Amino acid sequence: MRAVQFDTFGGADVLHVVNVPMPPVAAGEVLVEVEAAGVNPHDILTRSGVLRMIIGRHFPFGTGLEFAGEVVGHEGGSFRSGRKVWGSVPQLNAHPTGAIAEYVAVPVDRIAPLPPNLSCVEGASLVVTATTALRGLRREARLRAGENILVRGAGGGVGLAAVQIAAAAGADITTLSRTRDFALLTELGAAHTLDDTTVAVGDLGSFDVIFDTVGTELLAYQRHLAPGGRMVAVAFASMPALAAVAVSALFGPRRIRAFCGDPSRELLDAASALVVRGQLRATVSRTYTLDDTGLAQDDLDAGGTCGKQVIVI
C-alpha cells in the first residue's frame, strides 16, 4: 500500500510517498481502507521535531491522525466489513504509517460509525476538531446555556467546531478571527465577531468561558474571566504557553485548563449526534491528493484559510 512517511525531522520536503506492507491486524483491531484523512497541527509538530522527546527518533514515521473510510477486515469487535467509520490513530505513539495512508489498522475503541449524512471527506475533517471542542467545552469548561463565551482562533478547525457546539449549548458567542471568517462564523452561531488583528486584549469585556486555540498571551486573556469563569487552552506546545498554564494554577478555579485532544468512541458518538441533528457541520477549505500532503501541511502552517485541509486517498 502507499503511505506518507518521513525519515528525518524538518520541513514539508522531508515527506515522501512510499510503498509499505499492509499493516497487521491484531486482536481487537479493524483494518480500514482510508478514503480521506485530515491535516492537523500535530502532524507539523511531529514532522518538525518539536515532539521528538515524546516520539523518539525511531524512523521512519508516518503522518496523520484522523481518517474516514470503510472497514475491510477485523479481529473482533462489532464492526464488520463494509461499514463506513471515522476515527483516529493513537496521538502520541509514533508508527511507520499514520492516517495518511491507503490502509490503517486501529483498535475498535478508536473508531465509530460515520454519521450517515457525512461524506468521508467531511468526516475526516471533523474527527479531531469536533472531539477536541467537545471535550474542552463540555468536560473542561462545563459550558452552560446563557453563558457568554469568547472563542479565540475561531476560524481554525477546532474554533469552527467550538462555535457550533457552543451555539448548540445555547451560549452567547463572541469570536476572535480574521474578518474573512465573519460571515461563516455568524452563520454558525456567533453573535459578535471581532477582528483579532485590530482588537486589543485590554479592550475586551469579561466572559464566563474563554476557549483559546491560539496559545499566546494566555495570562492576558485569563484576566477577562468573569467571577466563576473558566478558561480552556487547546494550543500550548510552546514553552511560554506551558509556563502560562503552570502559573495560572495559582488562581485555583480560575486556572487555565489545558489538554491534548484525543478522540474516543464516546466523543465521536457525541459529535455524531450533533451532526445528525444538524448542529455540527464540516468546514473543508481544500482537498489534496496523497502526493500533495506536504503542500497541505504547508498551507495549514501558513494559515490564511478558514476550515480544514483534507487528503483524499
- Report d(CA 139, CA 111) in Å as an integer: 20
Q: Per the structure block, which three cell numbers stand in for 64?
A: 496523520
Q: Is the pLDDT of residue 52 over 90?
A: no
Least confident window among 119-123, 170-174, 261-265: 261-265
* Tens of pLDDT, residues 227-279: 999 999 986 555 555 555 555 554 555 677 777 778 899 999 999 999 999 99
Measured on CA atoms in the order 187, 139, 248, 46, is the torsion positive or negative?
negative
Report CA Rg, the chain: 19
Set out the domains of the chain in order of their start, with CATH numbers. Answer: 2-125+262-312 (3.90.180.10), 129-258 (3.90.180.10)
State the DSSP code for 196: T
The number of angstroms, rounded, from the C-alpha of 47 to the middle of its chain's C-alpha atoms is 17
Q: Is the pLDDT of residue 1 over 60?
A: yes
Alpha helix segments (H runs only) across 135-289: 157-168, 182-188, 218-222, 239-248, 265-276
User: What's the confidence (pLDDT) of residue 237?
Assistant: 53
Cβ atoms of residues 59 and 230 within 8 Å:
no
* Tens of pLDDT, residues 70-117: 999 876 667 888 999 999 998 766 678 999 999 999 999 999 999 999
Average pLDDT, the chain: 90
Q: Per the structure block, which three cell numbers stand in for 305?
A: 484559510
